[in-house]
Amino acid sequence: MKHIFIIGVGLIGGSFALDIKKLYPESTIFGIDTNASHLDEAITLGVIDHKATFEDLDKADLAILAIPVDASLEILPKVLDHISDTTIVFDAGSTKEDICAAVKNHPKRRNYLAVHPIAGTEHSGPKAAIHNLYKNKTNIICEVEETAFKLQEKALKLFSELGMRIRYMNPKAHDKHIAYVSHLSHISAFMLGKTVIEKEKNERDIFDMAGSGFESTVRLAKSSPAMWTPIFKQNKTNVIETLDEYINNLKHFKKLMEDEDFDAVYKEMETTNHIKDILNGIQ
């Protein structure tokens, strides 16, 4: 792997770049981004070696697409148009159904692997890129059988070197389940932040009372709207389903409190404490 192209040099693409450069010191990392200042920043920070254009993609051994999921629908076909027969391309988007559909009939479909690394932080941009972001993280691969065997192998070798564990799913199941364990968490955090900020308008000093519990629960409300809006748009049906269930659970909890049924309130929490074992299981 000599020529690596990172399309979108932010947290996700930049973190791939840093680890790949460490694994393959002789490789050259090229960056493509619509944001010129991000490209300059990525060079200054040593995240990429050179700027590049789509025309340069014919020399790519590997191209990683790490841009908002709406842009991916347009850019992935364009990337496939420019690469050689031996290039492997993967994306890192949080939705998989639309992107798999977008390239279903592309002549270079077999050069593409649909990937979702379950990794990230609430920060964004090239300066958010870090080493080892992907270590011990789950990497979901969809429609693996649509990718050429030799190119699958190339990508899987890299994921293994990065320390990731692989799970195979179909795009429909991926989008449904990820709505629960990822997309809903973000809305829950954003709306918690909103509820408290709205209060603060009138009542000063309220944040002086906030501790680490609030901070942890609201952390994802720092996330990038430019990244998350297209995810919610693409995964609209599933996300609305999770929101319906979440709102119903909150209403039920409120009703128990209004009815002063605190035995039931206790049981709601006791049952959910089971999350401890589940979270231990995923660590």
Sites for a second copy among residues 129-148 (CB under 8 A): 137-138, 140
Give me the least distance between CB of 36 and a second copy, in Å please: 22
In the complex, the smallest distance separating the C-beta of residue 131 from a second copy, rounded to whole angstroms, is 16
Q: Residue 172, interface with a second copy (CB under 8 A)?
A: no
Closest to 166 (Cα-Cα) out of 177, 175, 155: 155
Nearer to a second copy, 80 or 220 (CB): 220
Stretch that binds a second copy, among 7-15, 20-28, 149-157, 244-252 (CB under 8 A): 244-252
Q: Which of residues 63-122 bind a second copy (CB under 8 A)?
A: 118-122
**Does 36 contact a second copy by CB under 8 A?**
no
Structure tokens belonging to residue 21: 């450069």
Interaction pattern, residues 193-232, with a second copy; x per rule: CB under 8 A? xxxxxxxx--x-xxxxxxxxxxxxxxxxxxx-xx-xxx-x
DSSP string, 94-150: S--HHHHHHTTT-TTGGGEEEEEE----S--SGGG--TTTTTT-EEEEESGGGS-HH
Spatial CA neighbour of 91 closest among 131, 26, 147, 38: 147
Structure tokens at 80: 């496939």
- Cβ proximity to a second copy: between 43 and 166 the closer is 166
Residues near a second copy (CB under 8 A), total: 93
Q: Is residue 20 within the footprint of a second copy (CB under 8 A)? A: no
Residue with tokens 């791939």: 16
CA angle 68, 129, 64 (to 5 degrees): 50
By CB under 8 A, residue 240 contacts a second copy: yes
